[in-house]
Structure formats: structure tokens, C-alpha cells
Amino acid sequence: MKTGIFFHEEFKNKDWPVIGDKFRNFPEVLKDVLKLPGVLYFESKPVDEEILLNTHTHTYLQEVKRSWYYKGASLAVGGCVEAAELIAKGELKNALVFSVGAGHHSGPSSGWGGTYLSCSGPAIRHVRSITGQKRFAILDTDCHHGDGTRSVFEGDYDVLHVCFCSYNNVIENGTKIDVDVWGRTTDEEYLNKVGSEFIPRAEAFRPFMILHNLGHDTAQGDYGDIGLTRDFYLELVRMVKACADRICEGRYLIITHGGSRADNAEYIFPRVVEILAS
């Protein structure tokens, strides 16, 4: 089984909203992991507009298309959709998808915080349309609440959305959960919460695939610093990958989210690929 990396040269050498130019040294910093057996590199392609319209309103999409960051956002969503499809078809086991201008703050008719198109909405709805599979789990470990993702899947009890943010909440028959990790914490404390709040819920839910909005903005020295070390993100991925291996044949899709420090991105993401490919 193979691990996919989805990237595009458009993602570098631009001052993307919120995250800046943290991918300026990619994909070069991935050169060693690209040599690993079973690791495949894909150049992300623009997402089909009809796929976007399954998640976003026509009016909002036209608004985003007028922005300078639309090309990057479209490529990011296109990478997510293609990665999800290849995982669903068994051509990939798991994947890391790089994202700019798109992510968890984008809902059907609005977006903010550097993310103006949804990634998980188009990806999940596309996989549903080609496979008939209904149940998906989304883990959000960015520092902010994934309000856009929540609005995309509001009322959809076949999507488990567990968001680690700044308050506790359980709604929609236990399929939409918020977990308070705000303030200073440690790697161990955060991992313990993932182990108690996400893993057992995912095991009971039995999704077809796990999608993971992985931000490193919570790292020490980044804009959402809550005290986590760089190695926290590696242990987190190991934990979720092991869960995916147990419950959904390893189908695990990681989407990069917040964090603006290039040094953190360059440390974390090559090592994430090593873990996915192991």
C-alpha cells in the first residue's frame, strides 16, 4: 500500500493569508522521503467547479474566484479530492495533502482566517458519489475551531467531527464534538485527550475514512502557541494512523492547516510522511 504526497509549486513564494510563505522550501525538503518505497508524489490539480458547487453556493464561489488566492485554494482542494478518491479506490493507503487558501474556516457561503474553500466537504461528497460510502470521521487539531467544516456537515449524522479548540461541547447525537485544549498544555496532556475524546468515538463510529485537519499553529513559538513541541505532531499522527489501521483499513488523509513557521513545517511534514509510509 502506498502513501501519497500532494503539492504544487503555486503553494510557495507567495504570502498566503495567515500562514505566509511557510512552504517556500517545499517540495525540496521532502527529497529524502520521496525516495522511500511506496511514497508517491502528485502535483495537485485544480478542483472541478461542479465539485465545489456540491459544498459552496454559486454566489460565494464567484466571490472567491475573483480573489488572488483562488488558484492556490482550488489546487489545494483538488489535491484533497484526488487523494480521497485514490484512497477510497485502494490505490493509496493514506496521504498528506498540502493546502493554502482552503480549509476548516470555509462553509457553504462564507470563509475567513486564510481558508476560503472547504477541503473536507468536496472530498467527502465526491467519495460518497463514487463509492456510496457514507460514514467519515474528521479530526481537527488546528488551534482554532473548525467552524466552516462544522457548518458544511451540520445535520449530517454520518460525519463524526471532533474539533480540539477552546471549549467543550457535544451535539447532534454525539457526532459533533468540541474539546477544550486552550491555554498552556503539554504534549502528553493533549495526546491523552485525543486518546479519550477522539479514538474511542472513531472506533465506535467505524468510518470509511479518517480526515485530519493538522495545524501546527499550536506549536511553541507559532501564532497559536499552547506549549506543544514539534514532536507532538509526530506522536499524534502515529496515534491516529494506528486507529485508522484498526478501524478503516488504514484510510487516513492528512490536510495541512494553520501555522506560519517554515522551520516547523520543514521539521514536521517530512517526518509525517515517514510515519504514514511505515
What tens digit of pLDDT does each residue of 76-86 get? 999 999 999 99
Q: CA nearest 190: which of 199, 175, 178, 180?
A: 180
Q: CA nearest 216: which of 195, 198, 237?
A: 237
Task: Answer for the pair 88, 223: CB distance below 8 angstroms, yes or no.
Answer: no
Compute the distance between CA of residue 185 and CA of residue 181 in angstroms, rounded to an integer: 7
Predicted TM-score (pTM) of the model is 0.98
Q: What is the CATH number of the domain that holds 55?
A: 3.40.800.20
Instruction: Give yes or no for residue 194 having a pLDDT over 90.
Output: yes
Q: How does residue 1 score in pLDDT terms, banded at 50, 70 and 90?
A: confident
CA 188 to chain centre: 22
What tens digit of pLDDT does each residue of 205-229 get? 999 999 999 999 999 999 999 999 9
Continuous H helices in 94-182: 120-131, 147-152
Q: How does residue 188 score in pLDDT terms, banded at 50, 70 and 90?
A: very high
The number of domains in the chain is: 1
Compute the distance between CA of residue 94 and CA of residue 170 in angstroms, rounded to an integer: 29
Q: How does residue 190 score in pLDDT terms, banded at 50, 70 and 90?
A: very high
Residue 108: give the domain boundaries.
3-277
Tell me the pLDDT of the chain averaged across its residues. 98
